[in-house]
Each structure stands twice: as structure tokens, then as C-alpha cells.
């Protein structure tokens, strides 16, 4: 009998259907020589400290560092449904002739299933199903091209190294800081990726708090109803910042213009100097160019776009795109590439044909050969999976939120086959008494791919307005005439707080602000966290009450700020250093770095951190702010404003005891919604008609609490 093991029951059902297995049994589906079973995500986990020695059960500084001689795994405890499913899998595997690993095709998916097979004592040959979508065609194709388990050994080693690394640093550093600085009142959670991410937010916040605005002046002049700006010579710091933004590449550039205007008197003197002299147009240059369609989505760019457009959190977007994947309308989501492999190109006409709700946009592409751009199709930029695209399966029965995400993916996919947007950029230079002035304008000649995104009326209107403003009158070199100079007072602005969108980008590039797509791709090697884990990291910071949200902005709480300031060990909080460790994990996956060496280096690092903290003789402590209290405080701040709108009520008629008690009970009950599930820890609490339950109920979680 061949045993197939999938990561979720729904995926197992799809696979069983393709294989011709139709007989439902407890915990698996049987038929046609196959037994198709499933996990609920992680069934197994690394052992806890007390599983290695009883001495590690109690938290004490003397037991640190905790470094087991050999790491072990165990079935997750205190969850009857998980334990029951594992025993079913164990029996199937021990009697199997062959096992096919049908887990999600990624590092995490590989680790989940390998641990289950190890714990179940599987001894038979193992094959690997590797697919990027759950359509019937993709599953059939995947089973026709099954790979050997051995081909994915490095993927497993990378996943295992990541898990052990997180255990070593998380377990030791969390206990260390909690006991040393936490006053035994709250667990101070420290994580390999979590803490550097928090540090990014805190450092940005401190930058804003300590920012000293500087006054400066801009010299402008109005000639023929067009505003020209005086060229200002760049400082050495600005040139250095530009070089850093461009990856340290030095540019040999001209640096024309006047020195920055230091004070109002100096600026007014310039205005007086030029106001009665004619403005002379010294050059008019017109350059035609092209704008390429936006890149296809990887997970991070999709999360960024959804946060910008719909204010979806990274976690919400991940759940939505995972749902679209399971509904077979989108490809595998946990990817970090924006490119497609060459083998996808022949399938693209069929995918476009399947986008029935977008026929108006796909019609111009019918009957012609689709362009094959290197900006879209590049095998060298694709590893395990390609960019997120539609599968071509008709998208129906989607929620409003799923529909919005699907729409973004579908339009991006259509747009890459459209012509480039043709633009014309005009730059006009002028001069008054050897002071140079400049104005630029852009005009869209042929919209090309832009028509694909013209559905948003508001967005299009704003875009058109900007374009109209940028269209310049016709200027001729050598013309001159009167002008009206003006001096504008300006102040330097602080950096903006992180939003989830900008934080995801910062995590992707280890804190470096990069606009260029190609440079960003290069920095992804050193990004912190994986695309699939970054959302969970941000959610953890919320749950720990290290950060909160103000509108879209992420704000560090006093506890979060103090924790980062408390940590003197740069290894724990540096995004750049953490990025180096992430790079090593990727190299393990590519077989260019040894997993054992990685773990030895981590053990050494953990030992050094423990010794450093233990030798700290200062009396530093951290202020503990309870998350619930903080939320109540925030709510209290807002409530008086709402009450002010209502007419005043005599004191005698204020709420009675019983209704107040009822209202309090309701508030407490509703506060359960959105909290982590106490049973499985993976899902969140949701509210039904008669009871509260877990969002992971489809995957086997049995948590219930009556309303």
C-alpha cells in the first residue's frame, strides 16, 4: 500500500480524488492502492527543556545556557485530536510499502512531514510530490514526476537548522532576560527574528522622537505660469546617502547649483538680485521613455500592496492568499521570487483564457503570441517556486476580501503581457544672473499596461490630475522674459513611522531603505525571517504587547522600547547581523554551507550572550505594561469624545448595576475574539451563533466555549 501524507485534510481530499481513492476511513481516505492521510500543520515539535533534564524545568540563571547534546522531537501534547491523528498516521506508515510526502512544497512543509515520518518510525522508501498549485492538472503532473526524498535533504537541513536555532536563542535568551530584568512579573520574549524586528520599530521611533527640525529656504520663480526651482548644490552627506541607497556604487556626477540658503536674509538678497533681471531659457530637452509593468507578486510584495490598498495586516493577507491557493485559483503563496520559469510560458494563454471575469482586458491578447520578457520569465531567478499567479481555474465563491486579493494577482498577471507604457519627459533649464533653475514634466503618450489598472476611478483621476500638472507649456531655447521670484520657508521632516507595509520591506532588506527592485532582490539574501514567517513575527510583537497600532502606524509600547534599550548584545537586535544568519540558512538549502557549522556558531553565540548578561552588575529593570490595561487605557481615551455627542443625562438616570454588569460581561466575552487559540495555538478565536471556536476548526482544532 502507498501512503500519501498531506498537510491539511482539504488538500488530502483533492489528492485522493485525483488518485481514485474514495473510501473514507477515520483519519485517512483509501482506494486504488493508496491511503491518503493528513497532518494539521505541525503535529510534532522540538522537545522542551524539561524533556531533556528535570533541572531545566524551573527557570534559573544557573541552568543557562541550555544546550542539549542532541535535539529530539515529540508529538504535540495536550491536544487529543493531534495525538489521535498521529497514531493513525503511525500505523499507516509502519505498514506502508512506499510513502509519498505531499506536504506544502517549501522548507516548513518539508520539516513538518519529515518530523512526522521520523516520529512514526517510517522505514520504507519515500517519494516527494512537488507542486505549485492544487489544480487537478498540477496534481496529476506532480504524481507523474515524483522526486526522491533525498533530493530535498538540504531543504530539510535548512528547516531543521532554523528550528534548532530559534529554540537555542529563544529559550535561552527569553529565560535570561526574564529572570535578570523582568522582575518575574512578565515573560520577556526574545527571538532570533522577533527582537531585531522590534528593534527596527523602536529605533525608528527614537529617530522621530529625537528629530530636530532644521529650517531651510527654497528659491523658486514663476515664468509663464510655470514654477521653476533653483538648483541647490548637494552636500557630501547627500551624495554619500545616494551612494548607500545605490548599493555603495559611486557615481561621477556634476554637482551644479547654488549653496543651500542658510538664512532668510541670504534668500531675500537673492530674490532682490534677480527680480528685475530677465529669465532666460537655456535648454529644452525631451526624452521619450518606457515604463515597464509592475512585477508579479511574491508574498512580501503582495502583503505590502494589500496593506497599502486595503489596510490588511500581513497575517490577514497570508491567510487570504493561502485560502485562494486551497481553492485552486492561485499558485503556491509562500514564495520570495517575482519571476516565472520558462516552463510556465506555454501555459499562460490557457490561464488568461480561464480569467473569465477579465475578458475585456484579456481580449486584446487573444490571437497573438504573448511576449516573453526576461523581466517576467527567468529560470535563474526561480528556485523552488515561481511568482504568485492565477491558475486559470474560474474564481467563484470568494469572500469580498479574497476577491480583492485575487483581483490584484489577476491584474498583475494580465499586465505583464501588455505593451510598455510610453512616456515623454521634458526638462527645461533656465538662468537668471548665473543662478540655474529647473522644471520637469511627464506626459503619458501611450498608456499600455496602465489600462489594466484603470478600474479604480479615484486612483485614475488622481493620476490624471498629476499628469495634467506636469504637462509643460512649449518652451524654446533662448527665449526670455519677466518672472516673479519667491522665497519659501521649509522645515526638514522626521522619518515616518513604520507601517506593516514598510516594515515588511525593511525585514526583507535587513533594514536598508531600497527603492530599486534589482538591488532589493540582491538584499533579499540577507533579509530577516522568511516570507512565510514575517507575518507571524509581527503578530507575535502585538501579542507580547511590544507594539500597538495607531491608524496604520506601528508604535512601540514602553515595554517594547525599554526591552530594546535593555539589550546591549548587538547579535540579538541587529537586523543586519540577523540577516547574515538568514543568508547562511539559505546557503544550507543550496548545499554551500554546512548545517553543523551553523549550529556550532549559534551555540557559541548563545554562550557568549549568556555570559555577557550574567556579568552585568547594573540595576536595570523593565517597566511592565499589561496588554489588557493598555488597551483599556486607549479605549478610555476615545470614549469621552463619543459621549460628548450625546445629550447630558441627570445623574439619577445613569446606568444601573445589572445592565452595567451585563455590558461588562459582554465586553469581556467579545475580547476573546482575535486572541490566540489556547488549544492549538495556531488559530485565533472566532465568534459563532452559539459558541466561540477556533479559526482552525477545519483543520481539526476542537476548541469550543459557549456564548
What length does the chain have?
707
| Helix residue ranges, H only, 476-626 | 500-508, 517-523, 531-543, 558-566, 570-573, 575-589, 595-614
Residue identified by cell 502606524 is 553
Q: Is 332 a catalytic residue?
A: yes
Active-site residue, selected from the candidate residues 28, 156, 177, 332? 332
Q: Which string of DSSP letters, residue by residue, matches 374-396?
A: TTTB-GGG-SS---B-B-SS---
Nearest 5°: the CA angle 347, 140, 4 is: 140
Four-CA torsion 211, 217, 221, 226, nearest 10 degrees: 0
Three-state secondary structure call for residue 141: helix
User: Secondary structure of 439-456 in the HEC alphabet?
Assistant: EEEEEEEECHHHHHHCCC
Q: DSSP assignment of 288-318, as one string?
A: EEEEPPPPPB-HHHHHHHHHHHH---HHHHH
8 A C-beta contact, residue 41 and residue 682: yes
Task: Specify whether the CB–CB gap between 128 and 151 falls below 8 A.
Answer: yes
| Residue found by looking up cell 515520518 in the block | 117
* CA 370/CA 488 separation, integer angstroms: 51
Contacts (Cβ under 8 Å, ≥6 apart) of 287: 424, 425, 426, 427
305 CA to centre of own chain: 10
For 337, the grid coordinates are 521570487
Record the cell numbers describing residue 113, joined without a space. Answer: 512531514
Could you say which DSSP state residue 356 is in? G
* Residue of 565, 562, 506, 493 lying closest to 534 (CA atoms): 506
Backbone phi and psi for residue 121, each to the nearest 5 degrees, phi listed first: 75, 35
Give how far Cα 648 sits from Cα of 272, 275, 637, 639, 652, Å. Answer: 61, 61, 19, 15, 12
Distance of CA 215 to the CA centre of its chain: 36
Question: How would DSSP label each residue in 8-71?
Answer: SHHHHHHHHHHHT--EEETTEEEETTEEEEE--S-SEEEPPHHHH-GGGTS--GGG-S---SS-
Neighbours of 89 (CB within 10 A): 25
Residue given cell 543568508 in the structure block: 583
| Cα of 357 vs its chain's centroid, Å | 28
Q: What's the chain's Rg over C-alpha atoms? A: 30
Angstrom distance (rounded) from CA 7 to CA 36: 11
Positions marked catalytic: 332
Amino acid at each position: 500500500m502507498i501512503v500519501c501524507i498531506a498537510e491539511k485534510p482539504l488538500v488530502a481530499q483533492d489528492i485522493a480524488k485525483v488518485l481514485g481513492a474514495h473510501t473514507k476511513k477515520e483519519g485517512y481516505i483509501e482506494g486504488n492502492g493508496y491511503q491518503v492521510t493528513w497532518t494539521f500543520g505541525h503535529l510534532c515539535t522540538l522537545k522542551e527543556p524539561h524533556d531533556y533534564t528535570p533541572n531545566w524545568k524551573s527557570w534559573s540563571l544557573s541552568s543557562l545556557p541550555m544546550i542539549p547534546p542532541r535535539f529530539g522531537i515529540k508529538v504535540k501534547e495536550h491536544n487529543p485530536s493531534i495525538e489521535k491523528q498521529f497514531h493513525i498516521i503511525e500505523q499507516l506508515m509502519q505498514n506502508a510499502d512506499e510513502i509519498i510526502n505531499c506536504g506544502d512544497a517549501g522548507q516548513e512543509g518539508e520539516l513538518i512531514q519529515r518530523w512526522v515520518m521520523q516520529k512514526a518510525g517510517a522505514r520504507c522508501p519515500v517519494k516527494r510530490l512537488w507542486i505549485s498549485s492544487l489544480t487537478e492538472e498540477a496534481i496529476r503532473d506532480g504524481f507523474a514526476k515524483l522526486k526522491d526524498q533525498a533530493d530535498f535533504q538540504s531543504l530539510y537541513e535548512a528547516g531543521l537548522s532554523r528550528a534548532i536555532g530559534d529554540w537555542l536563542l529563544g529559550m535561552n535568551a527569553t529565560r535570561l532576560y526574564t529572570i535578570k530584568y523582568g522582575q518575574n512579573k512578565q515573560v520577556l520574549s526574545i527571538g532570533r527574528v522577533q527582537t531585531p524586528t522590534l528593534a527596527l520599530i523602536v529605533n525608528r521611533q527614537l529617530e522621530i522622537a529625537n528629530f530636530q527640525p532644521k529650517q531651510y529656504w527654497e528659491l523658486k520663480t514663476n515664468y509663464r505660469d510655470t514654477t521653476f526651482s533653483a538648483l541647490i548644490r548637494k552636500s557630501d552627506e547627500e551624495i554619500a546617502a545616494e551612494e548607500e541607497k545605490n548599493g555603495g556604487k559611486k557615481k561621477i556626477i556634476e554637482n551644479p547649483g547654488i549653496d543651500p540658503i542658510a538664512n532668510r536674509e541670504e534668500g531675500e538678497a537673492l530674490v532682490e538680485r534677480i527680480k528685475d533681471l530677465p529669465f532666460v531659457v537655456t535648454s529644452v530637452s525631451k526624452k521619450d521613455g518606457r515604463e515597464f509593468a509592475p512585477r508579479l507578486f511574491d508574498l512580501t510584495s503582495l502583503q505590502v500592496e494589500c496593506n497599502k490598498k486595503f489596510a490588511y495586516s500581513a497575517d490577514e493577507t497570508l491567510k487570504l492568499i493561502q485560502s485562494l491557493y486551497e481553492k485552486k485559483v492561485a499558485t503556491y503563496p509562500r514564495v520570495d521570487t517575482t519571476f516565472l520559469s520558462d516552463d510556465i510560458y506555454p501555459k499562460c494563454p490557457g490561464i488568461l483564457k480561464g480569467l473569465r471575469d477579465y475578458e475585456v482586458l484579456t481580449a486584446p491578447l487573444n490571437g497573438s503570441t504573448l511576449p516573453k520578457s526576461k523581466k517576467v520569465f527567468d529560470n535563474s531567478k526561480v528556485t523552488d517556486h515561481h511568482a504568485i499567479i492565477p491558475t486559470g481555474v474560474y474564481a467563484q465563491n470568494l469572500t469580498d476580501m479574497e476577491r480583492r486579493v485575487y483581483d490584484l494577482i489577476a491584474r498583475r498577471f494580465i499586465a505583464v503581457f501588455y505593451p510598455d507604457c510610453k512616456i515623454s519627459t521634458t526638462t527645461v533649464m533656465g538662468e537668471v544672473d548665473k543662478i540655474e533653475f529647473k522644471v520637469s514634466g511627464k506626459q503619458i503618450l501611450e498608456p499600455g499596461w496602465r489600462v489594466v489598472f484603470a478600474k479604480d476611478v479615484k486612483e485614475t483621476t488622481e493620476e490624471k490630475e498629476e499628469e495634467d500638472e506636469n504637462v509643460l507649456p512649449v518652451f524654446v531655447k533662448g527665449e526670455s522674459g519677466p518672472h516673479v521670484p519667491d522665497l519659501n520657508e521649509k522645515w526638514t521632516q522626521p522619518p515616518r513611522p513604520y507601517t506593516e507595509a514598510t516594515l515588511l520591506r525593511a525585514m526583507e532588506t535587513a533594514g536598508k531603505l531600497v527603492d530599486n527592485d534589482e538591488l532589493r532582490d540582491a538584499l533579499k539574501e540577507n533579509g530577516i525571517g522568511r516570507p512565510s514567517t514575517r507575518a507571524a513575527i509581527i503578530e507575535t510583537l502585538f501579542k507580547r504587547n511590544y507594539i500597538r497600532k495607531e491608524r496604520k502606524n506601528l508604535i512601540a509600547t514602553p515595554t517594547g522600547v525599554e526591552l530594546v534599550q535593555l539589550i546591549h548584545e548587538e547579535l540579538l537586535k541587529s537586523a543586519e547581523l540577523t540577516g547574515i544568519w538568514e543568508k547562511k540558512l539559505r546557503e544550507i538549502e543550496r548545499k554551500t554551507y554546512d548545517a553543523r557549522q551553523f549550529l556550532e556558531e549559534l551555540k557559541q553565540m548563545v554562550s557568549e550572550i549568556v555570559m555577557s548578561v550574567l556579568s552585568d552588575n547594573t540595576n536595570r529593570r523593565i517597566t511592565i505594561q499589561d496588554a489588557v490595561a493598555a488597551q483599556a487605557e486607549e479605549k478610555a481615551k476615545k470614549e469621552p469624545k463619543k459621549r460628548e455627542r450625546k445629550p447630558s443625562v441627570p445623574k439619577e438616570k445613569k446606568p444601573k448595576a445589572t445592565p452595567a454588569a451585563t455590558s461588562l460581561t459582554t465586553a469581556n466575552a467579545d475580547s476573546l475574539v482575535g486572541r490566540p487559540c489556547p488549544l492549538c495555538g495556531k488559530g485565533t478565536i472566532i465568534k459563532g451563533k452559539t459558541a466561540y471556536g477556533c479559526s482552525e476548526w477545519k483543520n481539526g482544532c476542537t476548541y469550543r466555549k459557549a456564548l
